């Protein structure tokens, strides 16, 4: 008989967390002006501006800074990290891991696992569940989970309003050292063609209205229901709820479906100010909530990725959070640091202008 851990989550928790948002912001009104959308279109998405990575940034560099901030909060020796898992859908190299570049630059190499994962917006969340297993089984002491994207969108596509750039990172380790412990987690996936990008194609395509009901809402609702059934908790037991945030309206709508009041969602809702940062989307919401949480708070987290799947987590904050909050810049510090740019500068920074590179 296999000796299985019945609840591996409880052995694990978040030791350190950190995020990164690039300096540049593109107002959504500017995209509407350039591509001839109605002025009301951005308002319908409840998103005002989106974060744009500078010309010298990519998913690797942003992931580096988020991970650096997570390390500062964790206060551990980087050499004790046994796994670096990097979730992205905007790898700078098609073949060559970002995880090894970040691991090398942070002094984690060479005694570590390292790989990049892809599952639209939820690869980093899958990495978090894998990290729980790896830490609970004592395969590794600490695992570094990074979600980072410079999300692509075809110029003029509705997706361009929200596809943005940001990164977030978590160091998962033993619950005895954690600022927040995992109580339970649950995953719900199906084959759903709501959003995809074929090889060598620069921008993703999506199923328009199909991205909502059968994809986003169906998977998040079922992941959360699965978690609640598994734990016996109800939505009323949570102080915060963070859902994947492709725009500013979907997280509030899924909250209504689940009976979660808006007030528990708004503290972790970052998309209205930076857009949808894909693998960092829901997880940067968790980062922001941890920046302000107090011991005993219980957090419901449900990232989503197209293709499609959702994970639901119950996370409880410990008293160790108090000393770690101020050891690195907070999400709000990055939100406050911004420079507005126009569409031309955005097009240059994101490589939308075809040049001959010598």
Partner 1 sequence: MKYSIARYWREKHSYYRLKATKCLKCNKINYPPSKVCRYCGSRELEDIELFGPAKVLTWTTIYTTPNGYEEYKPLIIAMVELLGTGVRILTRLTDIDPEEVREGMLIEPVLRRTSEDGEAGIIRYALLFRPLIKGAPEIGSNK
Instruction: Give me the residues that bind partner 1 (CB under 8 A), please.
Output: 23, 54-58, 60-61, 64-65, 72, 92-93, 101, 104-105, 107, 326-330, 333-334, 336-337, 348, 355, 357-358
Question: Any idea what the Cα angle at residue 126 is, between residues 263 and 281, rounded to 5°?
Answer: 40
CB of 85 to partner 1, least distance (A): 18
Give the whole-angstrom CA distance, residue 104 versus residue 5. 33
- Tokens for 49, please give them: 């501006």
Question: Any idea what the Cα angle at residue 326 is, between residues 284 and 276, rounded to 5°?
Answer: 15
Which of 206, 218, 219, 244 is an active site residue? 244
CB of 53 to partner 1, least distance (A): 10
- Residue (20 or 217) nearer to partner 1, CB: 20
89 classed as catalytic = yes
- Residue (64 or 217) nearer to partner 1, CB: 64
206 classed as catalytic = no
Which of 9, 89, 126, 160 is an active site residue? 89
DSSP line for 313-346: EEEEE-TTHHHHGGGS--HHHHHHS-EE--HHHH
Which of 121, 126, 160, 177 is an active site residue? 121
CB of 220 to partner 1, least distance (A): 31
Distances from the Cα of 296 to the Cαs of 19, 189, 239, 322, 328, in angstroms?
A: 23, 30, 9, 12, 22
CB of 182 to partner 1, least distance (A): 26
- Residue (20 or 195) nearer to partner 1, CB: 20
244 classed as catalytic = yes
CA nearest 148: which of 121, 130, 123, 166?
A: 166
- Residue (108 or 124) nearer to partner 1, CB: 108
Please answer whether residues 332 and 288 qualify as being in contact, where contact means their C-beta atoms are separated by less than 8 angstroms. yes
Active site residues: 89, 121, 244
């Amino acid at each position: 008989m296999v000796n299985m851990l019945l609840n591996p989550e409880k052995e694990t928790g978040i030791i350190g967390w950190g995020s990164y948002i690039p300096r540049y912001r593109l107002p959504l009104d500017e995209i509407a002006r350039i591509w001839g959308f109605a002025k009301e279109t951005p308002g319908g998405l409840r998103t005002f501006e989106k974060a744009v990575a500078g010309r010298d940034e990519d998913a690797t560099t942003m992931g580096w800074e988020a991970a650096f901030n997570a390390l500062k909060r964790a206060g551990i020796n980087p050499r004790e990290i046994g796994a670096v898992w990097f979730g992205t859908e905007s790898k700078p190299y098609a073949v060559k891991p970002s995880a090894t570049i970040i691991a090398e630059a942070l002094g984690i190499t060479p005694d570590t696992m390292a790989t990049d994962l892809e599952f639209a917006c939820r690869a980093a969340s899958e990495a978090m569940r894998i990290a729980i297993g790896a830490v609970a089984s004592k395969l590794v002491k600490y695992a570094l989970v990074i979600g980072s994207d410079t999300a692509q969108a075809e110029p003029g596509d509705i997706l361009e309003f929200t596809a943005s750039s940001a990164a977030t990172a978590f160091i998962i380790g033993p619950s005895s050292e954690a600022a927040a412990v995992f109580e339970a987690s649950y995953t719900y996936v199906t084959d759903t063609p709501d959003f995809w990008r074929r090889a060598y194609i620069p921008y993703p395509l999506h199923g328009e209205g199909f991205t909502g009901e059968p994809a986003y809402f169906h998977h998040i609702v079922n992941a959360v229901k699965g978690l609640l059934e598994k734990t016996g908790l109800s939505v009323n037991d949570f102080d915060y709820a963070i859902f994947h945030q492709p725009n500013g309206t979907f997280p509030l709508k899924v909250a209504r479906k689940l009976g979660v009041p808006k007030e528990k969602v708004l503290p972790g809702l970052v998309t209205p100010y930076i857009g949808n940062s894909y693998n960092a989307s829901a997880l940067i919401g968790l980062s922001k909530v941890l920046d302000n949480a107090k011991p005993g708070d219980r957090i419901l987290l449900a990232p989503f990725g197209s293709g499609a799947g959702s994970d639901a987590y119950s996370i409880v904050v410990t008293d160790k959070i108090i000393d770690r909050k101020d050891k690195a810049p907070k999400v709000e510090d990055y939100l406050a640091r911004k420079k507005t740019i126009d569409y031309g500068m955005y097009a240059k920074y994101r490589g939308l202008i075809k040049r001959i590179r010598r």
